[in-house]
Amino acid sequence: MKVKKYQASSMQEAMKKIRADLGKQAVILQSKTVYTGGFFGLFKKKAIEVVAGVDPNPRPEVKEKSRIVPMIEKTQPAVTPINNAEVLAKEVKELKKILEQYSRNNKISLEGVPEELKSPLVTLKEQEVSNDLIMELKQALLSKWKDSKGHVDQREALIWAKEWLLNKIKPLQEKTSQKKKYINIVGPTGVGKTTTLAKMAADSVLEKGKEIAFISTDTYRIAAINQLKTYADLLKVPMHVVYKAEDFTEAIKQLEDHDMIYIDTAGRNYRDERYVKELKSMISFEEEVESYLVMALTSKENDLKEIIDKFSLIPIEKFIFTKMDETKTHGTLLNLMCHFQKGVAFITNGQNVPDDLMEVDAETIVDIMFGENV
């Protein structure tokens, strides 16, 4: 295993050096900001220090055989001539109805709300926080405004709003998190489960000095196994691939001396409950197993609610949200927390391992909702 340290003025420059030296198969293990040079502690230059590695004996990729789907001839139904103007007029009328309905459902009345209280309400609306939560905050602000007899400015109103939200989500965030030995990562396809798992594991090894291991149940995608195997090799930790419940039990026995075991599961279309049932039959969800549901903040909120409902068959401890850097609005995060009464363990905001992984508390989520830097 070849591991080297690089220093550059920017991450882009560091990546060029790494690719030129180690090739495209290199994986970033750790990165941090450092300061170099200077004179008597002054005029130091900011730089990026990156630790990267590459497997000197990479395994060849296994390509899946393409399936040939026979074409089926269909008899085209006869097309009845239709007046295009009538069709267009009908579609416009239906579209107007949809827009009017959407406007009614999403309109929040600020009538009677003092000007000093409006800013935090508008901010949460822009973040696409649900109307129910915004109306709840509105009533809380009006109540405090009455108690203060109107002696309040915008800054104090923002403080009130933050206190209200903090008290609402703090009990969810204070639930036990990552205290168990077996950390199980589940979720739909394409949300970055394996990368997130690698970030969590790298933090446990590099920052906390834990003895960890990987178990993969994702036997559907060879690329996923190869990806996790690369991280296992770079971190110098064992990895087991399991195909059935007996394999999982055997792997647990062999890894009983390790501090933490990270379990990667297959990303499938979980609208079909049988996939969740397969997962439940594969893994023994005993007391030592803690499961996190990974979802992308770029997904539609209704789709995420359906995914969470499907995963209700297994005990989900907390949520992990990925791709925060790919969207400007983060209200979905808060909406799902409050709707399902579950906290958020981590948020990812990039691809770098392990840096772009935030372990969040209630205060951090409040700052995200009100547009504060985190």
101 compared with 189, residue with greater pLDDT: 189
143 compared with 59, residue with greater pLDDT: 143
- What distances in angstroms separate CA 162 from CA 222, 251, 277, 322, one per listed residue? 46, 46, 40, 24
Binning pLDDT at 50, 70 and 90, where does residue 296 land?
A: very high
Binning pLDDT at 50, 70 and 90, where does residue 18 land?
A: confident
| DSSP, res 25 | T
Q: What are phi and psi of 21, to 5 degrees?
A: -90, -45
Tell me the per-residue pLDDT of 44-63, one tens digit each, with 9 for 90 and over: 677 888 888 776 666 555 44
Binning pLDDT at 50, 70 and 90, where does residue 305 land?
A: very high
Question: For position 102, what pLDDT does the model report?
Answer: 46
Tell me the three state secondary structure of residue 228.
Answer: helix
Question: For position 131, what pLDDT does the model report?
Answer: 93
| Mean pLDDT confidence for 80-103 | 59
| Mean pLDDT confidence for 126-155 | 91
Question: For position 42, what pLDDT does the model report?
Answer: 46
- Cα angle, residue 77 at apex, residues 75 and 80 outer, rounded to 5°: 160
Whether 74 has a pLDDT exceeding 50, the answer reads: no
Whether 145 has a pLDDT exceeding 60, the answer reads: yes
Tell me the per-residue pLDDT of 242-270, one tens digit each, with 9 for 90 and over: 888 888 889 989 998 999 999 988 766 66
| DSSP, res 343 | -
Question: For position 41, what pLDDT does the model report?
Answer: 43
Question: For position 71, what pLDDT does the model report?
Answer: 44
In whole angstroms, what is the distance from residue 305 CA to residue 311 CA?
A: 10
In whole angstroms, what is the distance from residue 33 CA to residue 49 CA?
A: 6
Contacts of residue 316, Cβ cutoff 8 Å, sequence gap at least 6:
186, 291, 292, 293, 308, 342
The rounded mean pLDDT for the chain is 80
73 compared with 188, residue with greater pLDDT: 188
- Identify which of 113, 110, 154, 115 has the alpha carbon closest to the alpha carbon of residue 131: 110
What does pTM read for this prediction?
A: 0.69
In whole angstroms, what is the distance from residue 47 CA to residue 42 CA?
A: 15
Question: For position 77, what pLDDT does the model report?
Answer: 47
Exposure string for 282-309, b = 16+ CB within 10 A, e = fewer? bbeeeeebbbbbbbbbebebeebeebbe
- Identify which of 237, 318, 313, 319 has the alpha carbon closest to the alpha carbon of residue 282: 313
Whether 205 has a pLDDT exceeding 70, the answer reads: yes
Q: Which of 114-128, 235-249, 258-272 has the lowest mean pLDDT?
A: 258-272
Question: For position 104, what pLDDT does the model report?
Answer: 43
Question: For position 105, what pLDDT does the model report?
Answer: 46
Tell me the per-residue pLDDT of 162-171, one tens digit each, with 9 for 90 and over: 999 999 999 9
Question: For position 190, what pLDDT does the model report?
Answer: 82
Q: Which of 127-136, 205-214, 224-233, 337-346 has the lowest mean pLDDT?
A: 224-233
| Polymer length in residues for the chain | 374
Whether 70 has a pLDDT exceeding 60, the answer reads: no
Percent of the chain exceeding pLDDT 90 equals 34
Provide DSSP, 143-203: HHHHHTTT---HHHHHHHHHHHHHHHHHHHHTS--S-SSEEEEE-BTTS-HHHHHHHHHHH
142-146 LR contacts (CB < 8 Å, sep 24+): 142/113, 142/117, 145/114, 145/116, 145/117
